[in-house]
Amino acid sequence: MSAKNVTKLIKDKEIEFVDLRFTDPKGKLQHLTIDSTVVDEDMLDKGVFFDGSSIAGWKAINESDMILKPDLGRQVIDPYTSHNTLILFCDILDAVSKNSYERDPRGIAKKAEAYLKSSGIGDEIFFGPEAEFFIFNDVKYDSGANFSFYEVDSKEGTWNTGSDENPNLGHKPKIKGGYFPLPPNDSLNDIRTEMVLTLEDIGVNVEAHHHEVATGGQSEICLEFSPLLSMADNLMKYKYVVKNISKQHGMTATFMPKPIYGDNGSGMHVHQSIWKSGKTLMYDESNYANLSDTALYYIGGILKHTPALLGFCAPSTNSYKRLVPGYEAPVNIAYSQRNRSAAVRIPVSDSPNSKRIEFRCPDASSNPYLAFSSMLMAGIDGINNKIHPGEAVDKNIYALSKEESKDIKSTPGSLAESLDALENDHNFLLEGNVFSKELIDQYIEYKRKNEVNPINLRIHPYELYLYYDV
């Protein structure tokens, strides 16, 4: 869409405000709202200056000026504002050079797509993330020098079977018993339906929705696959819709991977496939699971770089409370056609066009622009260097003997380990100048300083239970 068409849209739809949105390195959506009366074609074409030093991980205060450049092909009317507001997704430009800012996650996604095309391997990659979340009725948390606590609550949580709800009707999914139940056990069906209808109204195609495995309101909405940049944008819209509709119903939604102890966490299994000239490159009926050599090499790249990838794809300290055995979590660096204990699964498909791979380690605390781009870069590295993933593991890895599983590596056990892996294994990300070393170094430094170290230094409430009376 041209700037002229956008200004016409503003007039025709009686838009009062234009909301410029961008994603920071942590994956948090930020915005700047402008009165539509001052929006003209020149502003839309050139962008708007803002202070980048206030965004963690970006410019220093002595070089703070940056530009929000609207992507005029990514516009949607906000379904939640009381005044008619047009949302424009933006790229970040350097104020001096007017080039894409090298730490802009959305700019990196664009460069990743361009690199795939320039490689000659394919001209498009499709992503289909399964981002799970919890909807709670209440959340409380705080931390200080002499105290720390949290509490989440859901009316459908199994811990509320004995609570006084006046009356308590008893329909509560049990621990690990929440997969696909009908209402009234699934108390969130109508809310998820409302989310789906809103998503479709703003141009995000949805395949299905359902309750997930955990008790206490775990849910999933399955988005229809889309190219990398489009899907990353759609995932940001998805999280925005889920959180706001939950709030409208007096509830709260979180994409935190593990908010409940002793039950399944929320992952984001990411389906992906490469195409060229309108045809999939993933299918070959003569190979294992009907995978092409290209697909196998792509898997090889993903598995080789899994520890480093998790620095972007499982980027919170809480991510590693999900990535533990016993909760359907993919903690084994292996691939399989059916085995959900493997990091990469090959979904059974009924046509060549639906052949794809599924990377099961990521979660939705990740920045989708960085996560999807890093996965693509690992896959391309696998293809370019013909990294074969070895033999598939079609047995339940958790049930294998030590001898049978001795050659199967495990995913990192902490964010600190993943960041160490990323620090030591990132050259594949630098190809085509998609990622910069400066971005990677700054990202690692930020995570260590602001997340890993503070968590390590804080007293956990359970430590008092264990050690107070020593």
Active site residue 124: no
Q: Tell me the pLDDT band of 442, cut-offs 50, 70 and 90.
A: very high
Q: Who's near 160: CB < 8 A, 6+ residues apart?
A: 153, 154, 168, 172
Query: Can you give the pLDDT at residue 401?
Result: 74
Q: Give one DSSP letter per residue of 112-126, joined into a string.
A: HHHHHHHHTS-SEEE
Instruction: List the single range of 115-119, 347-351, 355-359 with lowest mean pLDDT.
Output: 347-351
Range 421-425, long-range pairs (CB < 8 A, 24+ positions): 421/307, 421/308, 421/310, 421/311, 422/307, 422/308, 422/311, 422/312, 424/308, 425/305, 425/307, 425/308
Among 340, 417, 425, 431, the active-site one is 340
In the residue annotation, 426 being an active-site residue is answered as no
Percent of the chain with pLDDT over 70: 99
Question: How many angstroms separate the CA atoms of 394 and 397, rounded?
Answer: 8
Q: What is the pLDDT of residues 201-222, one digit of tens each?
A: 999 999 999 999 999 999 999 9
What pairs with residue 456 in β-bridges? none
The predicted model scores a pTM of 0.95
Band the pLDDT of 395: cuts 50, 70, 90: confident
For residue 264, give the amino acid letter.
Answer: N
| Contact status, residue 273 vs residue 356, Cβ threshold 8 Å | yes
Dig out the tokens for 235 from the structure.
């995932």
How much is the average pLDDT of 181-196?
A: 95
pLDDT of residue 52: 78
Rounded to an integer, the average pLDDT of 232-256 is: 97
Residue 296 and residue 287 in contact, taking contact as beta carbons nearer than 8 Å:
yes
340 in Cβ contact with 328 (< 8 Å): yes
338 catalytic, yes or no?
Answer: no
Catalytic position from the list 113, 360, 363, 381: 360
Annotated active-site residue 83? The verdict is no
- Please identify which of the residues 24, 91, 113, 212 carries the catalytic annotation: 212
Which of 78, 104, 186, 220 is catalytic? The answer is 220
3-state secondary structure string, 395-453? CCHHHCCHHHHCCCCECCCCHHHHHHHHHHCCHHHHHHHCCCHHHHHHHHHHHHHHHHH
Asked about 212 being catalytic, the answer comes back as yes
Helical (H) or strand (E) element with 456: helix 453-457
Mean pLDDT of 362-388: 98
Residue in 104, 113, 132, 451 annotated catalytic: 132
Predicted local distance difference test score (pLDDT) of residue 350: 82
Whether the pLDDT of residue 167 is over 90: the answer is: no
3-state DSSP assignment of residue 56: coil
220, 210 Cβ separation under 8 angstroms = yes
Instruction: Calculate the average pLDDT of the chain.
Output: 93
| Given 91, 113, 130, 263, the catalytic residue | 130
Asked whether 392 and 336 are in contact (CB, 8 A), the reply is yes
pLDDT the model gives residue 62: 52
**pLDDT reading at 327 higher than 70:** no
What average pLDDT does range 437-462 have in this prediction?
Answer: 95
Q: How confident is the model at residue 406 (pLDDT cuts 50, 70, 90)?
A: confident
Of the listed 156, 186, 233, 358, which one is catalytic? 358
Encode pLDDT of 250-284 as tens digits.
999 999 999 999 999 999 999 999 999 999 999 99
**How far is the C-alpha of 187 from the C-alpha of 154, rounded, in Å?**
10
Catalytic hit among 21, 103, 269, 322: 269
Domains of the chain: 15-101 (3.10.20.70), 124-467 (3.30.590.10)
Active site (annotated) includes residue 451: no
Dihedral sign of CA atoms 116, 121, 122, 127 in order: negative
**Where are the strands (E) in 163-251, listed by range?**
206-211, 218-223, 226-227
Q: Sorting pLDDT into bands at 50, 70 and 90, what band is 402?
A: confident
Region 388-407: mean pLDDT is 81
pLDDT tens for each residue of 45-100? 999 998 877 787 776 545 578 899 999 988 999 999 999 999 999 999 988 899 99
Options 40, 51, 63, 441, the catalytic residue? 51
Residue whose token pair is 């709030």: 247
Q: Helical H runs in 25-183?
A: 41-46, 105-119
Terminal C-alpha separation, the chain? 68
In this prediction, residue 429 carries a pLDDT of: 98
358 classed as catalytic: yes
C-alpha dist (Å) from residue 154 to 130, 170, 363: 22, 13, 22
**DSSP string over 1-47:** --HHHHHHHHHHTT--EEEEEEE-TTS-EEEEEEEGGG--HHHHHH-
- Displacement of CA 363 from its chain's centroid (Å): 6
* Preceding peptide of 25 cis, ω within 30°: no
Amino acid 60: pLDDT = 58
